Structure 1
């Protein structure tokens, strides 16, 4: 009887211990993953610097990957930027009319897109389209043991296949951010000015009065960082894919989820630091 009464408590304690062990294992797995990604990031930057200085950088691979990323992400970028521009323009215009500040529509709409919307769309496209494509490529090479073959031949996979992709993603992120900003800002301009809510001169003048060069530097800096981080995450997951095609698919799913979360957190941190450190212009 004593054994029967003690069995449920032992069972509960065993389940609790198993749950704690599982959480502890996941925590340490996360620490290991973060450390591996950090090592991969510094390694790719080191090879990028030394290869360019030593004239050993694979420019052909760089341009091939850059063109591939542009083909993958350009049209989705434009198609996502237009709705973003429409939503921001409508919401900003509506609030501006309610409070009687229609003349400041250009400043709020343009700066909001430049600082936040354009880098955000760029981060989503870099994580979803570019990151998943890179992860699928490297994952397929890993499960086919092509990466292992490179190591046997004395070639460094980070130097040969990761570094050119990192450089290409940073360049493409820089370009895509400009495309998103121009597309969304033109969309907002046509909606507000074309709808008769504000004159063209007042719209542009308000934007020029409040915008500053550091806003553009902030947006482009975010885009380059997002491209770098998305590629590092994708490369790490691709190079560690296991289990055949299913393992590659799982790696791609994990890559996209992790990249979106990381880029969102980095975006918040960079924006907060910018607001705290850079004096804002007062008209």
Structure 2
């Protein structure tokens, strides 16, 4: 009896270990394939949407009314959170740069450091993250609800391209709004850094502005605008792809929204790092 019980326990342990191993290997096989399929679908959707965007603008078939409606909705949804987040981040960066500059005896460079950091990194990235969280989730939820109600299939059956009528205007609106909010975030961030440096850290207004104007370039603003446009495309494409591929009823819409926000933020961080490294390699600075 004792030997039989020991044998049963060993077989149970082996079966449990086998199930865990089988599940882990299946998980590793499934998820890379699913990830590649998702990325491939998003790339195909992006190429088709950009092609239709250019074609519809040139032929006069662009749904301008839907574009204006989506751009208005995105701007109303994201501009208050963008300003609210840009202010404390810019103030924090100004404080940290001011303290660091004071420790090394270069307090006069605080304006250049904080201003360049806001324009190059903080403004476009804050705008993109807020777009992904506020606008991207709304886009995904809207298209996901249409998908589970079979409205997308009905449009395709009637010969109406859901890509041209729903995705293209949202893509154009996301790019325009991202660039506009990035400009607003640059202004608000620079103003917040200036006020904190002058009135909190007892800096000199002339020194702040002089150092910033000495080291800042027009290319820094171009970089911010290019980043904003690319980030807008990423948020729109990821959100639309997740919404159009929604399955499983209302619960599937919630899962798609969660996946869209997480995927957008991860891709935005990776692309931002790539942009920063590429700009540093192509346009190196000899001073600063």
TM-score where L is the length of structure 2: 0.94
Range moving further from structure 2, 15-24 or 128-137: 15-24
* d(CA) in 2 for partners of 1:195, 1:225: 36
* d(CA) in 2 for partners of 1:52, 1:205: 43
* d(CA) in 1 for partners of 2:159, 2:62: 17
Q: Which of 64, 67, 80 pairs up with 1:62?
A: 67
Q: Which of 154, 157, 176 pairs up with 1:152?
A: 157
Residue of structure 2 equivalent to 1:231 = 236
Cα deviation, 1:146-172, whole Å, max 9, x if unaligned, reads 111101101111111001000000000
* d(CA) in 2 for partners of 1:194, 1:8: 68
Secondary structure in 2 matching 1:16: helix
Q: 1:22 to 1:277 in 2, by over 3 A?
A: same
The answer as to whether partners of 1:47 and 1:159 remain within 8 angstroms in 2 is yes
* d(CA) in 2 for partners of 1:173, 1:281: 31
Alignment of 1:35-74 (within 5 A): 35-74=40-79
1:75 aligns with 2:80: yes
Return the offset for 1:10.
4.6
**Corresponding residue pairs, total:** 283
Q: 1:86 to 1:3 in 2, by over 3 A?
A: same
* d(CA) in 2 for partners of 1:17, 1:243: 26
Alignment of 1:101-120 (within 5 A): 101-120=106-125
The answer as to whether partners of 2:98 and 2:201 remain within 8 angstroms in 1 is no
* d(CA) in 2 for partners of 1:121, 1:49: 28
Return the offset for 1:221.
0.5
Residue of structure 2 equivalent to 1:249 = 254
Alignment of 1:202-217 (within 5 A): 202-217=207-222
Residue of structure 1 equivalent to 2:145 = 140
The answer as to whether partners of 2:118 and 2:186 remain within 8 angstroms in 1 is yes
Secondary structure in 2 matching 1:241: coil
Return the offset for 1:198.
2.1
Gaps of 5+ in 2: none
Residue of structure 1 equivalent to 2:270 = 265
Q: 1:179 to 1:281 in 2, by over 3 A?
A: farther
* d(CA) in 2 for partners of 1:196, 1:42: 49
The answer as to whether partners of 1:119 and 1:222 remain within 8 angstroms in 2 is yes
* d(CA) in 1 for partners of 2:286, 2:57: 39
TM-score where L is the length of structure 1: 0.96
* d(CA) in 2 for partners of 1:200, 1:8: 72
Range moving further from structure 2, 268-277 or 192-201: 192-201
Residue of structure 1 equivalent to 2:189 = 184
